[in-house]
């Protein structure tokens, strides 16, 4: 993306023998903490001859847009995705009426699409849960200007959020005379878990819930892929929505300043983030050759390679004029992480 980050968390499992396709979409990154320690929310869909699902058409459209709009440059990745299309339907089933739909932002921002689906409903409250919020209140303003909402809840996990200055939110709520709360949030089954889930819950006579990769920021929810991040989410309607939020405990606090002050700059605000774009990283175990493709930059880059066993690091000074870094003859072991710094930008 030109102005944001590639942020979806999508796992697609294809079985030719079993003629079965599984799709998982959520908040979990492909990391050990994401799959074992954090409090994450992930939705699983199944597609086969006996279980049709229009969300597989949507996810195919997402991958096709990544290719057709030039977001993917690695030919091997493109080839793998195109091969996967043979397992996915390409036509919507007009008779299907799902209470759980996939929404991405390749063409249209996510929040306007959500608002369009629920604009005629009235809600007693809306609750926003995420580790990252924009410092400005633009997202909450858009939601409240388009929907009938009685109370706004901003839910933060103590010591694990970035909203260190909530004055913009407080000023907006006060100016518009909107009832609001700042709640402390915990994972119901284990309060020690870090909440990495991103949840937008609308509660009223009918309940609706958005979950997935988008944090509560402008780039994630108010922009499409050409303007901000690339994101993918799942929208639950009515029956299922209310049950999912039960795994999260909201704790009312009289002094929300302590909760806000517990935040820290764990991630740069997405409107100010300065990311060095890395398009691919390929390591050939036979030749021991590492090739990283980045955006071209005129300045020289500092490159740090951390090896799998943690015992060896390689530091080199490279030119990024061509957008290509080549390291020959990597010593024994596998590269675990490549960190690149250049002209005030950082990529990993």
Q: What pLDDT is recorded for position 76?
A: 85
Helix (H) or strand (E) holding 118: helix 110-118
Q: Going by DSSP bridges, is the β-strand pair 179-187/148-156 parallel, antiparallel, or unpaired?
A: parallel
**pTM (predicted TM-score):** 0.81
The contacts of residue 191 (CB under 8 Å, 6+ apart) are 249
Question: Is the sign of the CA dihedral 28, 30, 35, 37 positive or negative?
Answer: negative
Phi, psi of 167 (to 5 degrees): -60, -35
Phi, psi of 30 (to 5 degrees): -85, 70
Closest to 17 (Cα-Cα) out of 46, 48, 44: 48
Q: What pLDDT is recorded for position 273?
A: 55
For residues 71 and 230, the answer to whether their CB atoms sit within 8 Å is: yes
Helix (H) or strand (E) holding 67: helix 55-68
Contacts of residues 285-292 at CB distance under 8 Å and 24 or more positions apart, as own/partner, are: 285/334, 288/328, 288/329, 288/330, 288/331, 289/326, 289/327, 289/328, 289/329, 289/330, 290/325, 290/326, 290/327, 290/330, 290/335, 290/338, 291/324, 291/325, 291/326, 291/327, 292/324, 292/325, 292/338, 292/340
8-state DSSP, 227: T
For residue 342, CA distances in Å to 73, 215, 303, 324, 337 come to 21, 27, 9, 13, 17
Q: What pLDDT is recorded for position 122?
A: 96
Q: What pLDDT is recorded for position 270?
A: 43
Phi, psi of 156 (to 5 degrees): -125, 140
The helix/strand/coil state of 50 is: coil
Tokens of 184: 């402390």
Question: Strand 300-307's sheet: what is its strand order?
Answer: 313-319, 300-307, 335-342, 345-347
Task: List the pLDDT tens digit at each of the 348 positions of the chain.
Answer: 777 889 999 999 998 777 789 999 999 998 888 989 999 999 999 887 766 789 999 999 999 999 999 998 788 889 999 999 988 888 887 766 788 999 999 999 999 999 999 999 999 999 999 999 999 999 999 999 999 999 999 999 999 999 999 999 999 999 999 999 999 999 988 888 999 999 999 999 999 999 999 999 999 999 999 999 999 999 998 766 777 788 888 888 878 888 999 887 654 444 445 788 888 888 888 899 999 988 888 888 889 888 877 666 677 778 898 889 999 888 878 888 888 988 888 888
Closest to 127 (Cα-Cα) out of 244, 10, 42: 244
Q: What pLDDT is recorded for position 143?
A: 98
The contacts of residue 103 (CB under 8 Å, 6+ apart) are 58, 110, 113, 114, 210, 232, 233, 234, 235
Q: Cα(326)–Cα(321) distance, rounded to whole angstroms?
A: 13
The contacts of residue 94 (CB under 8 Å, 6+ apart) are none
């Amino acid at each position: 993306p030109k102005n944001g980050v590639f942020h979806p968390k999508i796992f697609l499992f294809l079985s030719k023998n079993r003629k079965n396709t599984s799709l998982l979409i959520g908040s979990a990154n492909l990391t050990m903490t994401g799959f074992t320690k954090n409090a994450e929310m992930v939705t699983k869909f199944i597609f086969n001859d006996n279980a049709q699902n229009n969300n597989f058409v949507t996810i195919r459209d997402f991958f096709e847009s990544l290719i057709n709009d030039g977001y993917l440059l690695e030919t091997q990745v493109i080839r793998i995705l195109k091969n996967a299309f043979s397992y996915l339907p390409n036509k919507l089933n007009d008779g299907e009426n799902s209470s759980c739909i996939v929404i991405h932002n390749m063409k249209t921002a996510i929040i306007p699409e959500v608002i369009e689906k629920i604009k005629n409903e009235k809600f007693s409250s809306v609750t926003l849960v995420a580790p990252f919020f924009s410092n400005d209140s633009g997202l909450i303003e858009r939601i409240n200007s388009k929907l009938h909402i009685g109370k706004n809840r901003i839910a933060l996990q103590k010591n694990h959020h970035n909203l260190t200055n909530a004055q913009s939110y407080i000023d907006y709520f006060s100016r518009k005379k909107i009832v609001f709360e700042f709640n402390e949030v915990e994972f119901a089954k284990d309060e020690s878990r870090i909440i990495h889930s991103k949840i937008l819950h609308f509660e009223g006579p009918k309940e609706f819930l958005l979950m997935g990769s988008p944090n509560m920021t402008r780039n994630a929810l108010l922009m499409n892929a050409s303007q901000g991040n690339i994101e993918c989410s799942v929208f639950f309607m009515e029956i299922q929505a209310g049950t999912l939020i039960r795994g999260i405990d909201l704790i009312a606090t009289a002094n929300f300043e302590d909760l806000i002050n517990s935040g820290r700059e764990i991630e740069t605000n997405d409107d100010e983030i300065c990311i060095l774009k890395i398009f691919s990283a390929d390591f050939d175990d036979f030749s021991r050759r590492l090739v990283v493709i980045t955006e071209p930059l005129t300045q020289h880059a500092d490159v740090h390679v951390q090896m799998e066993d943690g015992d060896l690091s390689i530091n080199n000074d490279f030119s990024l004029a061509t957008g290509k870094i080549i390291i020959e003859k990597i010593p024994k072991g596998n590269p675990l992480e490549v960190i690149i710094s250049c002209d005030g930008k950082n990529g990993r």
